């Protein structure tokens, strides 16, 4: 583990500190998409690109509305499929309208944060033929404005932890769905995603990645603190805490649970249609929700990848797994969370 000091406090009120020393060198070496460095935020040391310094207040002070729906969870926990479900439930199962790109229907709250300006500029120069880039670059700095101007019911996806989101979400009682997925599968999925996305461009192997992940040294980490902040709120009436593993085991049950929470009862036919639409194999083939990422060399990488529970076996060695299990058990006890079987 890197024990580099984090010295320079760049924004006192928010307790945001520049990451420097060994940890900075390490992060800059392995996450090539981030060209300006990283910060850690608050006592939990949430790790983000340095751009967070200028975005923190916007993210915290954003004006929420009572009927907003927030979909949240650690990256790679099943947020995209849940976005599609929530959007359909809030739009009377309008499958025709759902042919529009999901990114346009459900906005990613902190899109701006994860795209380094220099990396994005370079990308536009290197791959001017990439037809995803114009829409993306237009959205990057504009997401909160677009949300602000939206006069329909808003559905947002965020990976920020509760403490960095607007306090009014809880005060006003907006509906929040938190998706939790078990750590080893999240780490494997996030590793593939970070390697396969030009804006992140992770260059290490999985063993190194797991060390970063475990120590909270990847963007949006630390993972266990993220879950803890949501798990503590799971009994609040405006919060629904769900598990990815249950989505995989019983998709119909998962859909029913979210439909009940959103007060949109479903008849058998509607439930059947939703199951069919969200089923992994069909979801993967749907271009409105499943767009491949491109890595730094412009190779396509699957975004909707394997969707497996227990997919961690692909990359954990026996030794890594034994060590990981000890760590996870300790963290599980600290949080008091019960994982689905
Ligand atoms: P894997 O990489 O293990 O395949 P997020 O949307 O939060 O980024 O989560 C991505 C993970 O959800 C990926 O996991 C992806 O394959 C999986 N996923 C996407 N759509 C799914 C679906 N319809 N059913 C089950 N899993 C899905």
Q: Which atom of ligand 1 is nearest to the CA of 74?
A: 7
The Cβ-side half-sphere exposure at 63, using a 13 Å CA radius, reads: 6
Distance, first Cα to last Cα, the chain: 31
Residues taking part in catalysis: 159
Degrees, nearest 5: CA angle 311-199-103: 75
Domains, the chain, in order of start with CATH, read 66-335 (3.40.50.300)
Pairing of strands 155-158, 69-73: parallel
Pairing of strands 69-73, 107-108: unpaired
Q: Which atom of ligand 1 is nearest to the CA of 289?
A: 20
**Separation of CA 80 and ligand 1 centre (Å):** 7
Q: What is the pLDDT of residue 14?
A: 73
Question: Tens-of-pLDDT digits for all 341 residues of the chain?
Answer: 444 445 566 666 678 999 999 999 999 999 999 999 999 999 999 999 999 999 999 999 999 999 999 999 999 999 999 999 999 999 999 999 999 999 999 999 999 999 999 999 999 999 989 888 999 999 999 999 999 999 999 999 999 999 999 999 999 999 999 999 999 999 999 999 999 999 999 999 999 999 999 999 999 999 999 999 999 999 999 999 999 999 999 999 999 999 999 999 999 999 999 999 999 999 999 999 998 899 999 999 898 899 999 999 999 999 999 999 999 999 999 999 999 98
Q: What is the pLDDT of residue 8?
A: 62
Mutate which of 75, 76, 230, 255 for ligand 1 pocket (most atoms within 8 A of beta carbon): 76
Q: Whose CA is nearest to atom 23 of ligand 1?
A: 280
Q: What is the pLDDT of residue 1?
A: 43
CA distance 48 to 219: 5
Beta strands in the chain (DSSP E): 9-11, 16-18, 38-41, 46-49, 69-73, 107-108, 155-158, 175-180, 239-243, 293-294, 300-301
Instruction: Quickly tell me which residue has 């920020």 as its tokens.
Output: 160
Q: Whose CA is nearest to atom 19 of ligand 1?
A: 304
- Total Cβ atoms within 10 A of residue 61: 11
- Total Cβ atoms within 10 A of residue 117: 14
Q: What is the pLDDT of residue 315?
A: 97
Q: Whose CA is nearest to atom 22 of ligand 1?
A: 280
Mutate which of 189, 251, 252, 281 for ligand 1 pocket (most atoms within 8 A of beta carbon): 189
- Total Cβ atoms within 10 A of residue 151: 6
Q: Whose CA is nearest to atom 15 of ligand 1?
A: 304
* Overall pTM surpassing 0.75 (yes/no): yes
Nearest to 315 by CA among 212, 202, 208, 217: 208
């Amino acid at each position: 583990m890197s024990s580099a000091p984090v010295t320079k406090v760049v924004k006192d009120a928010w307790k945001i500190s520049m990451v420097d020393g060994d940890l900075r060198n390490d992060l800059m070496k392995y996450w090539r998409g981030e060209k300006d460095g990283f910060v850690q935020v608050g006592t939990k040391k949430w790790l983000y690109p340095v751009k967070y310094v200028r975005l923190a207040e916007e993210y915290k002070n954003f004006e929420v509305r009572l009927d907003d729906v927030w979909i949240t969870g650690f990256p790679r926990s099943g947020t995209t499929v849940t976005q599609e479900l929530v959007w359909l439930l809030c739009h009377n199962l309008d499958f025709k309208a759902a042919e529009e790109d999901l990114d346009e229907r459900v906005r990613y709250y902190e899109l701006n944060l994860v795209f380094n300006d220099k990396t994005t500029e370079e990308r536009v120069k290197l791959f001017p033929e990439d037809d995803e880039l114009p829409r993306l670059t237009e959205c990057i700095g504009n997401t909160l404005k677009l949300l602000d101007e939206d006069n329909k019911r808003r559905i947002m996806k965020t990976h920020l932890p509760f403490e960095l989101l607007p306090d009014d979400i809880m005060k006003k009682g907006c509906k929040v769905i938190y998706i939790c997925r078990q750590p080893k599968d999240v780490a494997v999925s996030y590793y593939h995603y970070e390697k396969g996305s030009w804006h992140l461009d992770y260059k290490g192997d999985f063993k190194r990645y797991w060390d970063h992940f475990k120590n909270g040294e990847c963007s949006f980490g630390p993972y266990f603190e993220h879950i803890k902040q949501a798990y503590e709120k799971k009994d609040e009436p405006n919060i629904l805490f769900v598990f990815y593993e249950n989505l995989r085991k019983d998709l119909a049950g998962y859909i029913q649970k979210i439909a009940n929470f959103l007060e949109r009862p479903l008849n058998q036919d509607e439930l059947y249609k939703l199951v069919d639409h969200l089923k992994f194999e069909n979801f993967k083939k749907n271009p409105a929700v499943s767009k491949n990422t491109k890595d730094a060399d412009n190779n396509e990488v699957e975004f909707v990848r394997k969707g497996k529970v227990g997919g961690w076996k692909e990359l954990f060695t026996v030794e890594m797994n034994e060590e990981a299990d000890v760590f996870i058990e300790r963290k599980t006890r600290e949080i008091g969370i019960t994982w689905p079987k």
